[in-house]
Amino acid sequence: MKILVINSGSSSIKYRLFSMPEEQVIAKGLLEKIGEEISFFSQKSAKGNFETRKKIPDHEAGITFILSTLTDKDQGVVGSVDEIKGVGHRVVHGGEEFTSSVIITTEVISKIQQYADLAPLHNPPNLMGIFACKKFLPSATQVAVFDTAFHQSLPPVAYLYAIPYDFYKKYEIRKYGFHGTSHLYVTKRAGALLATSDPTVITCHLGNGCSITAVEKGASVDTSMGLTPLEGLVMGTRCGDIDPAIIFHLVSKGYSPEELNTVFNKKSGLFGISGISNDMRNLFEAREKGDERAKIAIEIFCYRLKKYIGAYLAVLGATDAVVFTGGIGENNATIRFESLKGMERLGVIIDEGRNKRAAPGQETLVSADNSPTKVFVIPTNEELQIALDTFAIARN
């Protein structure tokens, strides 16, 4: 069965076409700068790499162009769009409504629109992709896969904030968590490596956006991101945890709420501390040249991650493994080592040699043989998890 996975952003569409259940990627591509004068398109498949530039005015035109490329006589990989039996859509926010992936109905679309208030930068473009695919692939099963769904198993003690309870009842203000599809995927892979279907693990998704999740017997019981993706770890441009009174103080200095929203989401984190970049690779280069702000940005990143790992070790008690994933988690041995250094008495012993030798893109054990808690590097594959969910629903 052919399954198309769509990740529709505000000005981009990422996609992968899978053959299931073989889990084979037939084609993958990216359309960027939708709505601008020139849009950029690239696709990789067995037919080779294909790149082009043209004006794509909106998401509907973008989906049309993607489907025409997938069926093109020269660049295409399927004879007809009718071969695509399922479409899995990444949807960022499903609120309290969705605990798993679902077939997209009118009611589901209404709920996604309702939760756009909590994810204004994500849910509306996610819906654009849904509307376009429903129009041009009417016979395919359309499935919504929510970033928040995996975290709906959080208990009230973890998801409620210590603010007036009426805010939760009236406005649904609570911790939702994000990156759920990634945390679910690496949890399942950790379970396979540990030979158990219900692992107790701490999963660390570290990229430009970062989050960490405590998973007990296969279920998320706490996670670092909150009502929005701003809470938690230090990230590329997001501040993570701060004293909320900072906002009131800066408002008194003349900053507007809109300005501070931009500052904390787009000008903080690694970029804000270093003043150089949100890219960890650039910060390591700057640190090697003696830049002190790059050095402290890296140290703060590792320190905050270590605090969360320690907290979740306390929450879970006994933990089977700590898992690193995401661009930084998979590729940066120093970040992994510094974040776990000194945790031997807590039962986590990283092997420095194994850690340094971990090859990008491969599942690797990097803990010492005598470590009570294993440490894994597991490449995430959110697109495959979306395809798996979509295939499971579409075949039935």
The 3-state secondary structure of 35-65 reads CCCCEEEEEEECCEEEEEEECCCCHHHHHHH
Sign of the CA dihedral running 198, 333, 14, 34: positive
Contact 92, 148 (CB under 8 A): yes
Reported as a pLDDT band with limits 50, 70 and 90, residue 117 is confident
Structure confidence by residue, pLDDT tens digits, 259-305: 999 999 999 999 999 999 999 999 999 999 999 999 999 999 999 99
Mean pLDDT over each residue of the chain, to the nearest integer: 96
Domain covering 196-382 assigned CATH 3.40.50.800 in the classification:
no
Contact 8, 89 (CB under 8 A): yes
Reply yes or no on whether 147 is catalytic: yes
DSSP 317: S
CA 187, 191, 196 angle in degrees (round to 5)?
Answer: 145
Instruction: Given the residues 58, 72, 117, 147, select the one marked as catalytic.
Output: 147
Would you mind telling me the total number of residues written for the chain in this entry?
396
* CATH code of domain 2-146: 3.30.420.40
Structure confidence by residue, pLDDT tens digits, 362-379: 999 999 999 999 999 999
Where are the chain's structural domains? 2-146, 196-382
Question: Average pLDDT in the 40-47 region?
Answer: 96
CA 239, 157, 99 angle in degrees (round to 5)?
Answer: 80
How far CA 303 is from CA of 4, 159, 310, 340, in Å, comes to 40, 24, 11, 10
Angle, in degrees to the nearest 10, between helices 245-252 and 257-266 = 130
β-sheet bridge partners, residue 112: none
Spatial CB neighbours of 9, under 8 Å, sequence gap ≥ 6: 122, 125
Structure confidence by residue, pLDDT tens digits, 130-184: 999 999 999 999 999 999 999 999 999 999 999 999 999 999 999 999 999 999 9
| Exposure of 56 in the CB half-sphere (CA atoms within 13 A) | 22
Q: For position 10, what pLDDT does the model report?
A: 86
What percent of the residues of the chain are helix, what percent strand, and what percent coil, each to the nearest 5?
Answer: 40, 20, 35
Question: Average pLDDT in the 48-65 region?
Answer: 96
Give the residue carrying structure tokens 């805010």.
167
Report if pTM > 0.85. Answer: yes
Can you tell me whether residue 97 is helix, strand or coil? coil
| Percent with pLDDT over 90 in the chain | 97
Structural tokens at position 244: 């909320």
Question: Average pLDDT in the 326-336 region?
Answer: 97
What spatial distance separates the first Cα and last Cα of the chain, rounded to whole Å?
12
Q: Is residue 121 pLDDT above 90, yes or no?
A: no
